[in-house]
Chains A and B, each alone.
Chain A
């Protein structure tokens, strides 16, 4: 067992050695530009890209012609939101998304607002899920796009994507999903789910950083997005720029492996996650954040009341995790995702996200349980709030000096 233990697989994942192996030839002997049509160097590179396109398409039930390679999910999100707005603004100017989306979606929507678009940011229920009735009530004849993420990066909840897509389509809008955290972890099928656009990223599924894809539906309906970068008209004119051939080959391989191993891996990971969560919620005043029935198999987000997340992470220095506490940010604002669940600021400050992954072992989980328990107990001994709680003092009755 190597220390520190990596339990931050929602931030990024280590690359699978099989992915690295597939990529290596494309850095040197197969170095060609995939757009070079007139010599074997180009053909070989193009072959690698074509094969990867099939691998990616297969994982999400798409056709290879519907895959646009990008630099990652942030670019895919931007291309989808801004590209759809530009392409369809004659039809309507309204986009619906949710407050718990990734910043790439939220900030792209803010950009659209500056261009004159209208955006509705749906609240979520206490469990992190979008309320379908609230979504339907927000739909108008002007709505061109509904963009709701598949699985949440902080709490792992899985949105009712199929139902959301059906509502979007009922009102003639397109449905986009940022599936960065879900693809490769749980079955995602663009046909069955009714998805028109989908963003994914390689480095969240044991592939390399700097490469991702946008799925853009070609049939029923044929969806188009306006390119956000001018250039050589690569990727069917939707994304110019010389293709990152090694990265794309790596993404393809990562998708292939995920497709083959996802089912058994999801069972293994959810068993480990449940073990971790079960052991840690035995601690007094610890709470799991988000819906526990509709959730990615590898994520646990737990608030340990009366200890502060960043202080806790410092005590658990043998574990690489993340916290909803934003003590390091100048704003001192805790996670907006946790706050949108209605969590009080102090519980948001007390949260830790454990993200398990393909290379997480049971031994590591056992160790993480021990370290976390010890650290929470230690910090509670240092916490004036814990002492007050134990003395039966209602913390809400105290007039805190907000600073």
Chain B
């Protein structure tokens, strides 16, 4: 199976690899997936006082598409408000990276990671977590 140029680009030059201080109340961390399933994503956001995401980092254990999906997600998150970040849909990632059907679960995982990071940030700051629809991957 051939990868799209965009997947190869993100895979070869992943944006925003790294770790933020997960103990900081300005940082939300989402850890999704499972080693048994062959992919685990950790996505972190740093949020300023205006609810804007100023930084995003990721680390991913998984195939090229999983790495590319999370790299793209961090790129999209930077500069967005938390509310807008919540609206990122996995199908946007599928479209941008031209993921084939067997790789759609990678984009779902990235969306889950974004939402998990936002909820972690909300809970840390005394807000209710947003109830998520059970994802279906």
A residues lining the B interface (CB < 8 Å): 306-311, 314-315, 325-330, 332, 334, 344-346, 349, 381-387, 395, 398, 400-403
Chain B residues in 8 Å Cβ range of A326: 38
Docked CA distance A349–B39 (Å): 9
Choose from A310, A385, A387, A401 the contact partner of B63 (Cβ within 8 Å): A310
* Closest A residue, CB atoms, query B137: A403
Chain B residues in 8 Å Cβ range of A381: 17
List 3 A-B pairs, minimum CB-CB distance, nearest first: A400-B34, A346-B35, A345-B36
Choose from B31, B36, B38 the contact partner of A384 (Cβ within 8 Å): B31
Chain B residues in 8 Å Cβ range of A307: 61
Are B33 and A400 in contact, CB atoms less than 8 angstroms apart?
A: yes
Are B14 and A311 in contact, CB atoms less than 8 angstroms apart?
A: no
Known contacts A385-B40, A387-B19, A387-B59: A401-B67 contact under CB 8 Å:
no
Minimum CB–CB distance from A326 to chain B (whole Å) comes to 8
Choose from A315, A328, A344, A387 the contact partner of B36 (Cβ within 8 Å): A344
* Closest B residue, CB atoms, query A325: B38
Minimum CB–CB distance from B2 to chain A (whole Å) comes to 11
Chain A residues in 8 Å Cβ range of B135: 403
- Tell me if B45 is interfacial: C-beta within 8 Å of chain A: no
* Closest A residue, CB atoms, query B43: A384
Docked CA distance A338–B60 (Å): 23
How many A-B residue pairs have C-beta atoms within 8 angstroms? Tell me: 95
B residues lining the A interface (CB < 8 Å): 1, 3, 11, 14, 17, 19, 31-42, 59-64, 66-67, 102, 105, 109, 135, 137
Docked CA distance A306–B39 (Å): 10
Chain A residues in 8 Å Cβ range of B102: 328-330
Are A345 and B14 in contact, CB atoms less than 8 angstroms apart?
A: no
Are A346 and B17 in contact, CB atoms less than 8 angstroms apart?
A: no
Are B62 and A311 in contact, CB atoms less than 8 angstroms apart?
A: yes
Are B64 and A382 in contact, CB atoms less than 8 angstroms apart?
A: no
Known contacts A329-B102, A403-B137: A395-B60 contact under CB 8 Å:
no
Are A349 and B35 in contact, CB atoms less than 8 angstroms apart?
A: yes
Docked CA distance A383–B58 (Å): 9
Docked CA distance A329–B63 (Å): 12
Are A382 and B59 in contact, CB atoms less than 8 angstroms apart?
A: yes
* Closest B residue, CB atoms, query A395: B35
Docked CA distance A401–B35 (Å): 10
Are A311 and B64 in contact, CB atoms less than 8 angstroms apart?
A: yes
Are B1 and A311 in contact, CB atoms less than 8 angstroms apart?
A: no
Chain B residues in 8 Å Cβ range of A330: 102
Minimum CB–CB distance from A67 to chain B (whole Å) comes to 38
Are B33 and A327 in contact, CB atoms less than 8 angstroms apart?
A: no
Are A402 and B37 in contact, CB atoms less than 8 angstroms apart?
A: yes
Residue of B1, B14, B42, B62 with highest tally of chain A CB at under 10 A: B62
Minimum CB–CB distance from A4 to chain B (whole Å) comes to 14
Residue of A345, A384, A395, A402 with highest tally of chain B CB at under 10 A: A384
Choose from B14, B36, B38, B105 the contact partner of A382 (Cβ within 8 Å): B14
Are A327 and B62 in contact, CB atoms less than 8 angstroms apart?
A: yes
Known contacts A314-B63, A403-B105: A308-B38 contact under CB 8 Å:
yes
Are A314 and B11 in contact, CB atoms less than 8 angstroms apart?
A: yes
Minimum CB–CB distance from B107 to chain A (whole Å) comes to 13
Are B41 and A384 in contact, CB atoms less than 8 angstroms apart?
A: yes
Are B17 and A401 in contact, CB atoms less than 8 angstroms apart?
A: no
Residue of A325, A327, A383 with highest tally of chain B CB at under 10 A: A327
Known contacts A314-B11, A328-B102, A345-B36: A385-B61 contact under CB 8 Å:
yes
Known contacts A311-B64, A328-B102, A384-B42: A346-B36 contact under CB 8 Å:
yes
Docked CA distance A306–B38 (Å): 10
Docked CA distance A161–B135 (Å): 49
* Closest B residue, CB atoms, query A399: B34
* Closest B residue, CB atoms, query A307: B61
Minimum CB–CB distance from B31 to chain A (whole Å) comes to 7
In the assembled complex, 6 residue pairs joining A and B whose CB atoms fall closer than 8 Å, in A order, are A311-B11, A311-B66, A329-B102, A346-B38, A349-B36, A382-B67
Known contacts A308-B62, A310-B64, A334-B38: A382-B33 contact under CB 8 Å:
no
Docked CA distance A309–B59 (Å): 16
Docked CA distance A329–B36 (Å): 15
Docked CA distance A386–B62 (Å): 12
Are A314 and B3 in contact, CB atoms less than 8 angstroms apart?
A: yes
